[in-house]
Amino acid sequence: MKNLLETDYADYYSLYIDQVENDDCIEALEENMADFVNFIENNIPPEKYEYRYQPEKWSIKEIVQHIIDAERIFSYRALRFARFDRTPIPGFEENDYVPVSESDKREMSDLLQEFLLVRRATIKLFESFSDDMLSSKGIASGHEIKVLAIGFIISGHAIHHQKVIRERYLK
């Protein structure tokens, strides 16, 4: 399934990869892009955009910004490894990014536009990769990862957060 082996990514990425139903990476990215924007626009009333189900949790706007930031970072990793750069890439602390993003000061329409632009760039990047590039691996956050796995992680990460919003923010 998905042309991935368990050795192609760290175990904790199964949380994201397993949520992607489509076995084609590009199709999965495209489907997720449309589904995520549709979900935000049609299921979340504007008065919930800055809602937190607990004081220390992120707002919905912050979640959207987090998805954008993470996608940029994952795409950068994919680019480096697809170009056969073997320099290990350190992890990033997502909880440090959110407070300084000032996402709650932005309009949701602006965040969604940014998401769409970043996702379209991600899709173009993955479309440019040859099979050898997609099979290439590198070290990120101390673990070996395959470029193709990163594509599925990007989709699955957004799916994961969409489920979190549905289960914890919209009840």
Q: What is the pLDDT of residues 13-63, one digit of tens each?
A: 999 999 999 999 999 999 999 999 999 999 999 999 999 999 999 999 999
**Residue 98 confidence (pLDDT) above 90:** yes
Mean pLDDT for 65-93 is 97
Q: Where are the beta strands (DSSP E) in the chain?
A: 137-140, 143-146
- What architecture is domain 6-169? Up-down Bundle (1.20)
Percent of the chain residues topping a pLDDT of 90:
97
Q: What is the predicted pLDDT for the residue at 2?
A: 85
Q: What is the predicted pLDDT for the residue at 104?
A: 96
**Residue 1 confidence (pLDDT) above 70:** no
Q: Please give the Cα distance from 162 to 72 (Å, whole number).
A: 18
Percent of the chain residues topping a pLDDT of 70:
99
pTM for the full predicted model = 0.97
Q: Please give the Cα distance from 93 to 34 (Å, whole number).
A: 28
Rg of the chain in Å (alpha carbons): 16
Nearest to 16 by CA among 147, 158, 119: 158
Q: Please give the Cα distance from 150 to 156 (Å, whole number).
A: 10
Q: Please give the Cα distance from 55 to 71 (Å, whole number).
A: 26
Mean pLDDT for 163-171 is 94
Q: What is the predicted pLDDT for the residue at 63?
A: 98
Under DSSP, the state recorded for 91 is -
Bridge partners for 89 per DSSP? 140
Nearest to 158 by CA among 9, 35, 5: 35
Mean pLDDT of the chain: 97
Under DSSP, the state recorded for 7 is G
**Residue 9 confidence (pLDDT) above 70:** yes
